[in-house]
Structure formats: structure tokens, C-alpha cells
Amino acid sequence: MRLKRLLIAVLAAVAVLADTGAAAGGAAVAGEQLPITTPPPGSAAWNHQRVDGRTPPDPATAAPAAVAAFFAGLTRAQQNALAARHPLIVGNLDGAPITLRYRANALAVAAERSAARARATDPHLSPAERAAATDRATRCDLLLRPGRRLLAFDPRGRGLVAEVYGDLTTAQRVGVVVPGADIDLGHFDRVDDPLRSPAGMARALHGEEERQQPGVRTAVIAWAGYTTPVGIGPDAATARLAEAAAPRLERLLAGLAVTDLPSAPPPTLLCHSYGSVVCGSAAPRIHAGIRTAADPSGVTDLVVFGSPGMGVEHASQLGTGVRLWAARNSSDWIGDVPYVEIAGLGHGADPVEPEFGARVVSAAGAHGHTGYLAPGTDSLRNFTAIALGRYGDVR
């Protein structure tokens, strides 16, 4: 235990002293977070209903393929009725129709906004609690703006959300942005510094895709669908939250494969900072062999940038289902974090080192820990080329 405390202190000190970027900026060592691993509230009521005599798929155990088969047997009216009665369940149910999830999540966000507004005026709450409720209501207002498409929304804890940019139902190429620490409902989309948020990164990638290859239909998912570390502390230095997040990411990918993307290649994963630990945890279970006419190889492109490590010592330990790419710019403070794993602390070898076995790409022009998708950078151009499958254009 003494060794663990010492190593945590060393990792935290190195990151904080290295720069004031991203999670390190102004961060005191944070407390441990409780990961959300169970289905949303209302699962019991969902499981006890019958639809035309059929039992609906259990949100805790049903595979996305079983979910897709269930909804395929329903009429449009029956689907809409389920979304209206159980928006939190349908909106987060991988394998359910994409547009139905958009509708359900809009209802769930509206309900959370109403609840937050009520808390904001509750005289029995403290001023801090009322202020937090006001902020959450404001965040929900932003998510309810016309044109926003939420693939997931869960108000529990700090809040989980996933948003789609582009038309996911017709996309020929799909990307999924997996963010790192300090991301939640309150930090999903930042006006002041958009590239510090998954929404801003996803918009930047989608915009560059349209610029590079306007004739290709693309979509990018900003996936803040897991409980992230807060600040620098035990959660950032261990894989505990990543291991809890990995099954959620795996279900997302399995759901996309059986719903509206039958002819598209597997989505490209773009994993930033601690998000690369999540992707490393999930990678061995992202199996090759999901082959389509669009991509006979069935291999998922996995891009890690600003990575503290992926929990392994070599890319071969990630399994055969991924093609790994890695990038880090010279001013990113994460490069000063020790690339070690001792007694469960740290995240293993450096993915940009040649001996790791990743395809290392240029990040020239990028600055700091969050500047990888800034306009004009090599990293944005390279990540976009990978997401489009234009491998010959990658530097």
C-alpha cells in the first residue's frame, strides 16, 4: 500500500509539473469515481412488460443482435410507444434502431431538464446544489437544440452522453471519438476550448472528412459513454475505470454492426489520452472477421493520441481485430509521464515508441495535450485519412 501511494504521487506530480494542459491543469489529486456499469433506471419495469406476448430484451444481459431482432419484429407504432414509455432504456439500448434512440434520448434529456429546473428552485437544497442543478438544466437545453442527435444519454452521476455528427443511418465511413479524463455531461461540449471536449473533436474530424472527401457519406460519434477519471489521482493512474468502460464500448460497436451499418466497414476508433486505456482494454475483444462488402478484412482501425499507454507492452497483445496507429506531438505533457506498469499503477509501454509495434503517424503542427484535431495539423489530416480508409495519404 505504501508503494502504491508513492507511485500515485510520482505519477501525479510528473503530470502536474509537466504542463497545465488537459486534466493536469490546476488539478488537485481527485477522489475515486464510481463507474456506471448497470442499465439505466426503469429496467425492472421494462423487463416485466410484454409486447404482443413477447418478453423484451433485458438491458443488462441481451446482446445487441437480440435487441435488433426484437425491434425488427415490432411495428413503428409499437417502437415509438416503447420509446415514449421507457426513454432511458430505449435511448441507451445498443441494437435498437438509431433514429428511435435519437427520439428516446430527446425525451430523456427533456425529462432531466425539468427535474433539474425543479431542483434549481428547491429551497430545501443548498446554494451549491441549486447552482449545480441550474448548470445541468443549461447543459440539457444545449443538447435539445434542433439538429442534435443523441445516441445515448444517462443522467446518473456526472452524466453520460454520446452524440452523432453526420447521418449515421447512411454513413459509408464511421468514426468514434473516445475521450479521456474530466469528461462528462458538464464538459461534453466546450464553447471556450472546443478541442478539449469530445463534441469539439468529433465536429473537427467530421468537418475535415467532408473537406477531404465530400463525396463520401460520413458520421462521427462523440462517445462520452463511460465514467472518466477526474483530475490526477488513483483513477487516472490505474485501469479500473477503463476496464469498467470497455464492455460499454464493445456493446456500442456490436450495436452499430447490427443496426443501420450493414455495408459499412467497422468504425474507426480515435482514442485520446485515458480513452486509449479504454480502447486498449476493449481491443482484445474487438474480433477480426466482421467482414462486409465495404471492407473484406473486417479489421478495426484504432488511433491513439496523447496516450499514457494502453495497458500492454506490445501492440500484438491487443489482438487481431485492430490495426493500431499512434501519434504524439512534442509539446504534449503526457510524454513526460512514466510509461510503466507496476502493481496495477501506470499503463504500460509508450505506443509511439518503435518497439511497441504501432504505425506511428505525424502530429506536426499540433500543440499541447488537446491540439491534435486543430485545423492545419498533420494529426487532423492523418486521422481523417485513416477514418476514410485512405491509408496511402497518411504521413
- For the whole model, what pTM was predicted? 0.91
Determine the pLDDT at residue 29. Answer: 52
Residue 112: left (phi > 0), alpha (psi -120 to 50), or beta?
Answer: alpha
Say whether 284 sits in a helix, a strand or coil.
helix
- pLDDT band at 7, cuts 50/70/90? low
- Can you say whether the dihedral through the CA atoms of 116, 122, 125, 126 is positive or negative? positive
Query: Among 78, 199, 258, which Cα is nearest to 90's?
Result: 78
**What pLDDT does 278 receive?**
98
pLDDT for residue 354 is more than 60? yes
Strand order in the sheet with 322-327: 149-154, 160-166, 218-224, 173-178, 268-272, 300-305, 322-327, 359-360
Show me where the domains of the chain are located.
2-393
* Contact (Cβ atoms closer than 8 angstroms) between residue 256 and residue 211: no
Sign of CA dihedral 117, 123, 129, 134: positive
| Angstrom distance (rounded) from CA 217 to CA 171 | 5
The SS3 assignment for 270 reads strand
Which among 140, 27, 134, 45 is positioned nearest to 90, based on CA atoms?
45
In this prediction, residues 364-388 reach a mean pLDDT of: 97
Residue 183: closest CA among 283, 271, 305: 271
pLDDT (mean) for 116-143:
97
Nearest residue to 256 via CA among 223, 207, 232, 208: 223
DSSP 4-27: HHHHHHHHHHHHHHH-S-GGGTTP
Q: Output the furthest CA–CA distance in the chain (Å, rounded).
A: 62
Q: Tell me the residue ranges of DSSP E strands in the chain.
A: 149-154, 160-166, 173-178, 218-224, 268-272, 300-305, 322-327, 359-360
pLDDT tens, 153-209?
999 999 999 999 999 999 999 999 999 999 999 999 998 899 999 999 999 999 999
Q: Is 65 helix (H, G, I), strand (E, B) or coil?
A: helix
Nearest to 210 by CA among 248, 185, 175, 184: 175
Q: Give the pLDDT score at 319.
A: 93
C-alpha cell at 133: 442543478
Question: 56-70, 177-191, 211-225, 332-346: which range is least confident on average?
Answer: 332-346
**CATH tag, 2-393:** 3.40.50.1820
pLDDT given for residue 357 in this prediction: 96
Residues of the chain with pLDDT > 70, as a percent, come to 89
Do you know the residue count of the chain? 395
Locate cell 495535450: which residue? 369
Q: What's the confidence (pLDDT) of residue 295?
A: 60
Contact predicate 393/385, CB 8 Å: yes
Confidence category of residue 6, pLDDT binned at 50, 70, 90: very low
What is the pLDDT at residue 260?
Answer: 60
- Ranking 46-50, 95-99, 296-300 by mean pLDDT, the lowest is 296-300
Read off the pLDDT band of 267 (50, 70, 90). Answer: very high
pLDDT of 15: 46
pLDDT digits (tens, 9 = 90+) for 268-296: 999 999 999 999 999 999 876 555 555 65
Q: Chain-wide mean pLDDT for the chain?
A: 90
How far, in Å, CA of 61 to CA of 76, rounded?
Answer: 24
Place of cell 475521450: 179
At 62-103, the pLDDT tens digits run: 999 999 999 999 999 999 999 999 999 999 999 999 999 999
